[in-house]
Amino acid sequence: MKGNRTPPVWLEASVRVNEELAESVADVMARFAPNGVTLGYSSIEPDPNGEGRPRGPLTVRAYLPWGEDVQSRRTALEEALWHLGRISPIPEPVFREVVETDWSLEWKKHYRSFRIGKRLVIVPSWTDWNAAPGDVILRLDPGMAFGTGMHPTTQLCLEALEERIIPGKELLDLGCGSGILSIGGLRLGAGRAEGWDIDPEAVRVARENAVLNGVEARFAARPGTLEDMLKEKRTAPVVAANILAGVLQSMLHASLSETVDRGGCLILSGILIEQSAAVEAAIVESGLYLAEKKTREDWVALIAEK
């Protein structure tokens, strides 16, 4: 190292993408970043109350620890992103050396709370929020990649829950991930929520987020599949599944409708516009009625009633 230059601690890799690609890119980059991945909008415009309105594309950042293997990590990350780019084009990552020992403080300085729907506000866990009458606070770390509320499909589901949650009644969340839908439903008035996921890590994170939001006494995160739910005859008046269109079709054909109480609703998302017709047909074939269709950018959420 020449002169008095401070040696780097991290190699930052950043990729600027739209909301639809952000979480897929983050999932890939997280494989090479032991301390996690961050996401941030190009700008979040504050209002006088401190609330943020996201603007522009997202920047995904991963921090590779500096050391002898940093170049091999960089090459592996670039190759993984190249392969992802064969599915949907993404820019090449930009790299820079970072000296700060606590890089997380830097992006936290620029992140603000943001609103979803009429009442829900996603608030970073490290900040305070002066809630207006009717505000429902959902505390997460929006800078981290996993289940942040930034993706259009998650936002569509949360907006549907805001309109459909029955106070005091149960919510089932299939493929719960970080637990954002379950926790949002509980904060909106559900009496109890149960999140199911096949990934043990998702179950762990969902439980942690429930504690962060003070709803752990009314929330159960469980490892399992739709088949497990059906064996236990689990039903609720509101059931949500934000997964993938093909998986949702298979679940509908495998009696997903049986998890919905009579008079209840099923909220489905993770569906691209061109995939919607096939999922809608599967809804009708399963004996449900398609009550509403929400769209945002290229994504669709379907609300079916029983």
What CA–CA distances, in Å, run from 96 to 26, 62, 64, 99, 216? 18, 11, 10, 10, 40
Determine whether 108 is exposed, middle or buried from the number of CB atoms within 10 Å of its CB (0-12, 13-18, 19+).
Answer: middle
**Binning pLDDT at 50, 70 and 90, where does residue 113 land?**
confident
Task: Quote the percentage of the chain above a pLDDT of 90.
Answer: 52
**Binning pLDDT at 50, 70 and 90, where does residue 41 land?**
low
| Cβ 87 vs Cβ 170: under 8 Å | no
User: Tokens 């993408």 map to which residue?
Assistant: 17
* pLDDT over 60 (residue 159): yes
| Cβ 45 vs Cβ 52: under 8 Å | yes
Average pLDDT (254-266) is 97
Domains and CATH numbers, the chain: 10-109 (3.30.70.1710), 149-305 (3.40.50.150)
Q: What is the pLDDT of residue 56?
A: 64
Q: What is the pLDDT of residue 1?
A: 44
* pLDDT over 50 (residue 150): yes
Q: Using CA atoms, how far apart are residues 301 and 41, in angstroms rounded to an integer?
A: 23
| Cβ 32 vs Cβ 93: under 8 Å | no
Q: Using CA atoms, how far apart are residues 271 and 152, in angstroms rounded to an integer?
A: 10
| Cβ 25 vs Cβ 81: under 8 Å | yes
Q: What is the pLDDT of residue 265?
A: 98
